[in-house]
Structures are given as C-alpha cells and as structure tokens.
Structure 1
Amino acid sequence: MNTTRRGGTGDVATATDGAPRKRRLVGIDAARGLALIGLMAIHLLPAWNEQTGEASWSWRLFSGHSAALFALLAGVGLALGSGARQPREGRALTADRVSVLVRALLIVTVGMTVNAAMPEDPPAYNILFYYGMFFILAIPFLHARPKTLFIWAAAFGILSPLLMQRMLDVLPEWWYYNPTLPNVLSNPAGTLSQLLLTGNYPALPYMTYLLVGMGLGRLDLRAVRTQVRLVIVGVVLTVLAQLVSAVLLYGLGGYSVLQEASRLSESTLDEILVWGTDSLPTDTGWWLAITTPHSNTPLAIATSLGLSLAVLGVFLLISQKIGDWLLPLSAMGSMTLTLYSAHLLALSLELHYDSPYLWYVVHLLVAAVFAVIWQRTLGQGPLERVVAYCAKRTRRLVAGQGGNANPGKTRNS
C-alpha cells in the first residue's frame, strides 16, 4: 500500500519499501482525455455544415488528429512502462517485451469483442483492433534510445506512405470495417494487409506517431524546457507541413497534375482534398503531397504529429499550475480503454442519429462523471485494471521476480 503526499503534479509517492515512486503526469492523461473527446466528436457529430456544405468545426479539429494523438500517447506510455529514461536490458527487457505482447493481445480481444456487437454498417470504426498491432510492432524498439526512435519514426513516416500507395493495387482486398474473429480466420491475408497498410488506422504509417511517443517517453517530460520544445516543434512542424503541401499543389502545379491524372473536376478534387477518399489513389505520386485527414501521406502524418506534439506540450505545461482543474479530462484519459469501448457499444445501439449534439453531450457527461468517481474511489479503470494485471503478472514471471521490475518508473503506462 502506498501513501501519497497530495499537492502539485510533480509530487512523489512513497512506497512502503522506501523507494520513491513518481506520480502520474497529469498532462499526459489530460491529453489522452482530449483525444477521446475528439474521437467521440468524429463518431457522433455531423462532419459538415448542412447550410454551407463546408466541413464542420469538429471535423476540422479532430478528424485524423485525435487518432494520431492516441498513438503518440500510446508510445509515451510504452516508454514510461519500460524504464522511461533508462530502457531496461537483458531479462528485464525480455519481460517487458512479453508483457507488451500480452497487452496487445488483450487489447485486440477487447476490440474484436466490441466489433462483434457493431452493426454491419457501423456508426464508427474501432481503432482498438489496430492498436494491438501498433504494440506488437513496437516490441523490437523497446530498448531503443530517443535518437534511434526518432530516426525510425521519420523512416516510417516517409517510406510507409510510398509503400502503401505502390502496394494498394496488389494487396488483398478486405471487406470488414470492424473485423471479428470469424472475419480474421476467414480472410487472414486481407486482415493483415488491412492492419498494416489498407485499413482505417494502418499500423505502418501510424508507427511514426508511436515511435515519436516512445522517444518522448525516454526524455524528461517533467522538465519545462522539454515541454516548451514540444510546443514549438509541434507548431513549426504543422505549419511547415501545410506550407510544403500548398507549395507543391498550388505553386509547383501538383493540383493540375492530380486533375489530369485522375480525370477529376475541380469541385470533385476540392472535395477530396477536404474529405479524402476510401484509399489513396495510385495514378500519380502527387497524391502524396496532400494533407487530407486519414490519407496517411508524409505531409498528413507530419501535420497530425505536429498538432499532437503541441497538444501534449501545452497540457504538460498547464498541468503544473492547474492540474486539479484538469481532473475530468485526466480521469477520462486514465481509462480510455474502458470509456472508448463503452462509447462504441453505446453507438452500436444506433440511437444517436436524430440528435447527434444531445448524444455527444450525454456521452461526454457520462464518461467524465464515471471516470472521476471511479478514479477517486477505485483507481484504475475496469478494463485497464485487467490488462495491467495480466501484463504485470507476465512481466514478473518472465523476469523471475515477485515484485515490481522497476519501482521508480513514472506511472503513466
């Protein structure tokens, strides 16, 4: 049993064995809570304004970016859970890798269970199925240092979109938006290609966010200097990606090439640049210059990554002063697996179509109230507790010890 001195977000909890144990970084949980709110908005709120036909505020703010923020924070959590600034080695590293594999399989199980309750034409696409693949692909990188992780992230961000565009015409087709176990067993090749390259949240491009997050988790995220740099780098990266895209499309003739290669009218192309397509067109490499949400081009990845970095930096900065005021967000962010799964199950009832704004408020309020009460009384979220217990037990068995493999780690994993 631990006793914790209440105060600022940088307080230290003291375990009964006398080892210092850093408290959770509230800013990380708050950022994760915002990502959950964003996904709820995309699932529930209209994507366009019925009067003007233009993209809605929720679409512009959250489409593609919320999922990227989730993946970035997943990487941060993986790093914090595997030694933080001091990656483990030897048997402890092996234990971490097996633990992450167990965590991934449990998340996939939860995801497919939720998928089984979803209608054939689903109101939302479940990211949990892909999330497990993110974790599996992260296993070889658990020992890596920040510089190595950032280099690999850049490689995934540049090469994965190229591979994705070149392979789309030859990869097996997939038919299930939210695959269940029977779907996976009946079409394993299509499922694998969906997970890696052709799905809604393809793992190879998304490894950019995950690896950057892991690199950040190896830094001192409690340092104000690090937090300010996150904001600056994030803003610069976002602006630069948008600027490069604009130059390529409108300054160097990319827009005209897209029209000619795809035989699209100007209005149709403009719609694609806002809403995207089911898959990235393969008729010309100039499509890689767009920044449309979920297009997973290098510049789209850079845009979402920059926004995610800025959001994380801002929340880390403000949580030092107003951490207590962020409680609804941080409580939600500490149990997103539970809340996201419950949100999707509620959507599967398909009661929200006639009153999307009302149901959005209902989902938010229920999630916030439940999260605050549960966290204050019972701590870890229900599904989070099960996953954490199985993962920690596995880690200890592999490591050959009954206690915590690293009692001094930051607890945002």
Structure 2
Amino acid sequence: MTAGPQVPQREAPAPSGEAVPGDAATRGATPLRHACDPAASGDVPGTPAIPGTQADGRPRARLVGIDAARGVALVGMMAVHNYTATDEDGELSLAWSVAAGKSAALFALLAGVGIAFASGGRRRPTGRRWTAEAASLLVRALVIGAVGLLLGYVVPADLASVILPYYAVLFLLAVPVLSLSTRTLVGLAATVAVAMPLLSHVLRAGTELVDPVPNPTLGALVDDPLHALRELALTGVYPALPWMAYLCAGLAVGRALLTSRRTVLIIVLVGVGLAVAARTVSWLLLDVFGGRARLESVALQSMSQEEFAGFLREGASGVTPPDTPWWLATTLAHSSTPFDLAYTIGVGLVVVGVCILVGRVTTAPLRPLAAAGSMTLTLYSLHLLLLSSPDLPGGAWGFLLQSAVVVTFALVWSHHHARGPLEELVARLSGGARRAVENGRRPSGAGALPPA
C-alpha cells in the first residue's frame, strides 16, 4: 500500500557493531525518513540505510525485515481485494481468513514504525526538530490524502476501500504524539483501543450502517466537510481515531532497540500474548457468559438470520452496528472493537518481529517482498488501478497477475532508483517543509508547507 498502504537508535552501542540513529557513531547524521521517503541501500534498493554498514557491506537486516513486513501487508490487501469473502461451500475463503482486517491493520502499525524511524528512532524529537518533523508530516499527510481522494473517483467502493485518506488523517494525528516516551505510547495505545470504540459506539447511537462505505473524494470533502471528516475519523472503513491505537503501538516499536534480538523476541511474544488474550476474553464474553445470545436477539430485530451469520463470518466495514454494546465484545475483521484492535495489533507485532528475525539470518527470501515494501504508496495505488480495470481478471488470476506486476515493477524500478515514483514526490515536498523549518525560515515555494 499504503501506503498504505525507517529505523531505531540511541546511546547504547547496537549489537554486532551496528550503528543506529542516535548512537555515538551516528550523532549528527540526518534522521531516517519515513517509508514513503526511503534512502538507497546496498541490498534491497529503496530500503532506507543507516549511516555505516556491516563489515561485509550488507545493509541492516532488520531494515529488510521492516520493508518485508510492508510487503506482506500489501500482498494481503491485494488478496482480500481480489478474492471473494466466501468459497463455493459458503465458508470464509482462505484469503479472507488469513488477511482480512489484519493487512490494513499491519499497514497502520507500520506507519507508526516508519514515523518513529523518520523522527529519530529512539531519540525523540524536541524543539525545532519536532517542529521540522511536524511540518514534514503535515505535508506528507496532504500529499497522501490527495492521492487517496483522487483514487476515490476511480475505485468503486464495492471493489476496494481506499485507505490513503484515512492514512493521511493518521499522519496528522501523529504530530502531537511524536515526542512521547515508549511507555507513554504503549499506555496511550491501550487507552485508545478501549476508549475510542466505546466513544464511537455512543456517538453513532441511532444511526444505520452504510455498506459499502463510499470511497472519499475531493468533491465529497468540499460538499460536506463535516460528514467527510466524521467518516474519516469515526464511521469509515478505517476510522482514524480508533486506529490511533495501531499508530501509537507502531511508534512504540519504532522507538525500541530493534538491533537487539532480545527486544525483537519480546515484541513477538507480546504480540502472541495480546492476540491470544483478545480472542480468549472475547470468547469468554460471547460464548461462556451469554453475550452471543444477547447480541443475536438484538441484531435480528434489524437484520435477517442470514445477514447476521454473514456479518459474523465476513466482518464489518469499519464499525459495528450501534444497537447493542455486545458488538464491542467481538473480534470481527474491520470492526474496530477493543478486541479487534488488540488482536490485530498482536498479529501485526508478530509479523513485524518475525520478518526482522528472518532478515537477521538471511535476506534473500525477503528480497521481493522488501522491494515491494519499500514503495508501497506507488504499488498500492497501482494495484487499485489494475483492480478497477474492466479489462483485467479478478479472483485468483487477478491476484497472481497484480502480484507479478507489482513485484516485478518494484525489483526493476528499485534497481535504478532509490525511491518509487510517488515516494519521490512525497519525499521532495515533505523534505522541503522539513528543511525550511530546520533552516529557521518560513516554508515557501515548491515543496514547502502551505501557509495556515
């Protein structure tokens, strides 16, 4: 995707002699930029490099792992968009079982990781550096949001929900939390995961779900800005306020010492524990303490038994019906309930941690995914354009064709260029805003932050 649908740092020396942003070995070096602004490295082109390389000249394996995780998220979203929700037997299809609700969440989690890397890794931004990173994020949000709003005119909502406008709002929401400590970020992620779904449920009382939710467009934003912002923040497919939990969790990961195998193993174990705990508590509430029966009795007043079964099988479109709070006890895909957020954060942590660990051992198997993951904004947009073409197949053939196109493009393009095409645009514009602040002048001209 996304951007969707890059790395840590500071004072203690990194294992294996690796220098990370903020280390004594790299103080004064320019902080790494976000995923949409990668610098070239010697292995997977387009993967951001840390000042200094390993003794054999290879790049940081954990960087390949992070980009590979982005590649996993991209492929997962492509699979969900191409395959139907159910198979011939009426059961949830394999693609949806594996990726539905998890891939987009992984993108959002990795957005937080990338923002942490861009803003200094373990060395949190303060003072003018915070202002510079804030300016960069604001411009980045504007550009990514604009791309998403334009795609909204092309991509039918029944084919795919465009994540980029929601992603842009997440970037804006990241500005005030850039300087928070890791412990505070973890606490904030937990608080948001519980409080925002409850707030959303209360605010949506008396409303009806819209399915599919129309993809946001510039016209819709201009015609009814309050409705559009409400959709982006609370009621859409990827509601930014509840999804702040992913962003904060990702920022916390990005502030961690990812050069430490122990730290990465802890991240994986926390992810496993969180996912298992979320599913277990949800099961207890619904199937042991009678929540499912109460949920069904209320839900069947507004939907048929078949619709109810389909909702439980295939998941929601961003939020659950507001007719009973028992919906909040579910872990339905794309439901943005406390247990859905906790479960998908856990799964995301496992994917990120495993990719980093594999990348420490070998980078060869991760190379195609990492190449794609280094330019997810470009490839996610390309995927949506291919998906929307009436002349191209869907289903398994469509997925295979699109996967081949995006991976081939990534490998070929990254051999000659440090960034993807859209990533280059974002880097130039946001970099101009950052440099303007760092140089102590008001941003102006091309690539600068527009005046308020």
The reply to whether TM is greater than 0.5 is yes
**Residue 143 of structure 1 aligns with which residue?**
179
Query: Deviations along 1:157-201, whole A, 9 cap, x unmatched?
Result: 001110111111367998961121111111111101101110000
SS at structure 2 position matched to 1:221: coil
Mapped contact 1:4–1:14 kept (Cα < 8 A): no
SS at structure 2 position matched to 1:112: helix
- Alpha-carbon distance in structure 2 between the residues aligned to 1:173 and 1:285: 15
User: Which of 418, 425, 433 is the matching residue for 1:394?
Assistant: 433
Mapped contact 1:176–1:183 kept (Cα < 8 A): no
Q: Quick check: 1:201 aligned with 2:238?
A: yes
Cα deviation, residue 236, structure 1: 1.1
Moved over 4 A (4+): 2-7, 9-15, 21-24, 170-176, 264-268
Equivalences for residues 293-308 of structure 1 within 5 A: 293-308=333-348
RMSD: 2.5
Mapped contact 1:172–1:190 kept (Cα < 8 A): no
Mapped contact 2:64–2:356 kept (Cα < 8 A): yes
SS at structure 2 position matched to 1:55: coil
User: How many residue pairs were aligned?
Assistant: 392
**Residue 319 of structure 1 aligns with which residue?**
359
Query: Deviations along 1:278-317, whole A, 9 cap, x unmatched?
Result: 5412222111110000111000111111100000000000
Which amino acid in structure 1 is aligned with residue 371 of structure 2?
Answer: A
- Alpha-carbon distance in structure 1 between the residues aligned to 2:350 and 2:323: 34
- Alpha-carbon distance in structure 1 between the residues aligned to 2:49 and 2:396: 39
- Alpha-carbon distance in structure 2 between the residues aligned to 1:274 and 1:241: 18
Equivalences for residues 175-214 of structure 1 within 5 A: 177-214=214-251
**Residue 67 of structure 1 aligns with which residue?**
104
- Alpha-carbon distance in structure 2 between the residues aligned to 1:267 and 1:4: 52
User: Which of 361, 378, 388 is the matching residue for 1:348?
Assistant: 388
- Alpha-carbon distance in structure 1 between the residues aligned to 2:426 and 2:207: 33
Query: Deviations along 1:329-359, whole A, 9 cap, x unmatched?
Result: 0000000000000111112223455x51111
- Alpha-carbon distance in structure 2 between the residues aligned to 1:385 and 1:23: 23
CA distance 1:172–1:188, shift in 2 (3 Å): farther
Q: Quick check: 1:337 aligned with 2:381?
A: no
CA distance 1:245–1:24, shift in 2 (3 Å): closer
- Alpha-carbon distance in structure 2 between the residues aligned to 1:244 and 1:307: 16
**Residue 36 of structure 1 aligns with which residue?**
74
Cα deviation, residue 11, structure 1: 8.4
Mapped contact 2:206–2:323 kept (Cα < 8 A): no
Q: Quick check: 1:125 aligned with 2:125?
A: no
Q: Quick check: 1:379 aligned with 2:438?
A: no
SS at structure 2 position matched to 1:237: helix
- Alpha-carbon distance in structure 2 between the residues aligned to 1:256 and 1:302: 23
SS at structure 2 position matched to 1:25: helix
- Alpha-carbon distance in structure 2 between the residues aligned to 1:199 and 1:153: 20
Unaligned residue ranges in structure 2 (runs of 5+): 1-38, 54-58, 442-452
Which amino acid in structure 2 is aligned with residue 61 of structure 1?
Answer: V
**Residue 287 of structure 2 aligns with which residue?**
250
Q: Quick check: 1:223 aligned with 2:263?
A: no
Cα deviation, residue 268, structure 1: 4.8
What is the percent sequence identity of the aligned residues?
41
User: Structure 1 length normalisation: TM-score?
Assistant: 0.89
- Alpha-carbon distance in structure 2 between the residues aligned to 1:47 and 1:172: 23
Cα deviation, residue 12, structure 1: 5.5
CA distance 1:310–1:277, shift in 2 (3 Å): closer
Query: Deviations along 1:212-254, whole A, 9 cap, x unmatched?
Result: 0001111111210111111111111111111111110010010
**Residue 161 of structure 1 aligns with which residue?**
197
Which amino acid in structure 1 is aligned with residue 437 of structure 2?
Answer: V
Which amino acid in structure 1 is aligned with residue 355 of structure 2?
Answer: F
- Alpha-carbon distance in structure 1 between the residues aligned to 2:75 and 2:213: 25
Which amino acid in structure 1 is aligned with residue 148 of structure 2?
Answer: G
Mapped contact 2:232–2:240 kept (Cα < 8 A): yes
User: Which of 48, 51, 64 is the matching residue for 2:86?
Assistant: 48
CA distance 1:172–1:57, shift in 2 (3 Å): closer
Unaligned residue ranges in structure 1 (runs of 5+): 16-20, 403-413
Which amino acid in structure 2 is aligned with residue 166 of structure 1?
Answer: V
Which amino acid in structure 2 is aligned with residue 73 of structure 1?
Answer: L
CA distance 1:96–1:163, shift in 2 (3 Å): same
- Alpha-carbon distance in structure 2 between the residues aligned to 1:260 and 1:200: 26
